[in-house]
Amino acid sequence: MGSEAHSDARSDDRRTLNVDSAGVDEIGIVPWPNLFRRWLGRRVPIEREWALLLVVLTALFTVGFTITILVVSLQSIADELGSSVSVVSWSITGPMLAFGVVGPAYGKAGDLWGHKRVFVGGLLGAGIFAALTAVAWDATSMIAFRTLSATLGAATGPATMAYINRLFPSDQRVRPLSYWSFVNAIAPVLGVVAGAPIVDAFGWRIIFAVQAPLCVIGVLIAFWLLPDTERQRDVRFDVRGSIALALGAASILAGVNQGPRWGWSNPAIIGLLVVGALALRWFVAIERTASDPLLPLQWVRTRNIALPILSQSLSNFAYMGGFLMAPLIMADVLGYDTSRISLVVIARPLTFAVVAPLASLVTMRIGERSTSMFGAASVVASMVLFALVSIDSALWFVIIALALSGAGVGIANPALTSLVADSVDDRDLGVAGAMQQLMNQIGAVLGAVVMTTIQQATESGGVSASYRVAFTVAAGVAIMSLVSASFVRSSDATGTIS
Assign 263 to helix, strand or coil. coil
Measure the CA–CA gap between 463 and 470, rounded to whole angstroms: 11
Higher pLDDT, 357 or 244: 244
* pLDDT score, position 300: 83
Higher pLDDT, 315 or 196: 315
Nearest alpha carbon to residue 404 among 396, 393, 394, 392: 396
* pLDDT score, position 8: 43
Place 232 in a pLDDT band, splitting at 50, 70 and 90. low
* pLDDT score, position 20: 35
CA dihedral 99, 103, 109, 112 (to 10 degrees): 150
* pLDDT score, position 484: 94
Measure the CA–CA gap between 101 and 257, rounded to whole angstroms: 14
Assign 497 to helix, strand or coil. strand
| Cα 215 off chain centre by | 17
Average pLDDT, the chain: 79
Out of 122-131, 182-191, 205-214, 240-249, the most confident range is 122-131
Chain segment 54-72, per-residue pLDDT in tens: 888 888 888 877 777 776 6
Measure the CA–CA gap between 307 and 415, rounded to whole angstroms: 12
**Which are the contacts of 453, defined by CB distance < 8 A and separation ≥ 6?**
259, 260
Does 251 score more than 80 pLDDT?
A: yes
Does 157 score more than 50 pLDDT?
A: yes
Q: Half-sphere exposure (CA, 13 Å, Cβ side) for 184?
A: 33
Chain segment 330-381, per-residue pLDDT in tens: 988 998 887 788 778 778 777 877 787 777 777 777 888 999 999 999 999 9
Q: Rounded to 5, what percent of the chain is helix, strand, coil?
A: 80, 0, 20
Measure the CA–CA gap between 321 and 401, rounded to whole angstroms: 14
Higher pLDDT, 296 or 275: 275
Provide φ and ψ at 497, rounded to 5°: -75, 130
Chain segment 80-103, per-residue pLDDT in tens: 888 887 788 788 777 877 776 777
DSSP per-residue letters across 394-423: -HHHHHHHHHHHHHHHHHHHHHHHHHHHHH
| Cα 119 off chain centre by | 15
Place 24 in a pLDDT band, splitting at 50, 70 and 90. very low
Could you tell me if 56 and 119 are in contact, meaning their C-beta atoms sit under 8 angstroms apart? Answer: yes
Could you tell me if 371 and 378 are in contact, meaning their C-beta atoms sit under 8 angstroms apart? Answer: no
* pLDDT score, position 235: 65
Measure the CA–CA gap between 38 and 423, rounded to whole angstroms: 34
Provide φ and ψ at 254, rounded to 5°: -65, -40
**Mean pLDDT over residues 417-438, rounded?**
78
Tell me which H or E stretch contains 192: helix 174-202
* pLDDT score, position 401: 93
Higher pLDDT, 27 or 382: 382
Nearest alpha carbon to residue 185 among 70, 320, 322, 378: 320
Does 498 score more than 50 pLDDT?
A: no
Query: Beta partners for 491?
Result: 497
Nearest alpha carbon to residue 254 among 270, 272, 236, 238: 272
- One-letter amino acid identity for 335? G
**Mean pLDDT over residues 187-214, rounded?**
78
Measure the CA–CA gap between 256 and 100, rounded to whole angstroms: 15
The sign of the CA dihedral 67, 69, 74, 76 is negative
Q: For the chain, what is the radius of gyration of the CA atoms?
A: 24
Angle between helices 429-457 and 239-262 in degrees, nearest 10: 10
- One-letter amino acid identity for 313? S
Higher pLDDT, 116 or 112: 116
**Percentage of residues in the chain having pLDDT higher than 90:** 17
Chain segment 37-46, per-residue pLDDT in tens: 454 444 444 4
Could you tell me if 401 and 386 are in contact, meaning their C-beta atoms sit under 8 angstroms apart? Answer: yes
Farthest CA pair distance, the chain: 91
Could you tell me if 380 and 322 are in contact, meaning their C-beta atoms sit under 8 angstroms apart? Answer: no
pTM of the model: 0.71
Measure the CA–CA gap between 423 and 412, rounded to whole angstroms: 17
Query: Beta partners for 497?
Result: 491
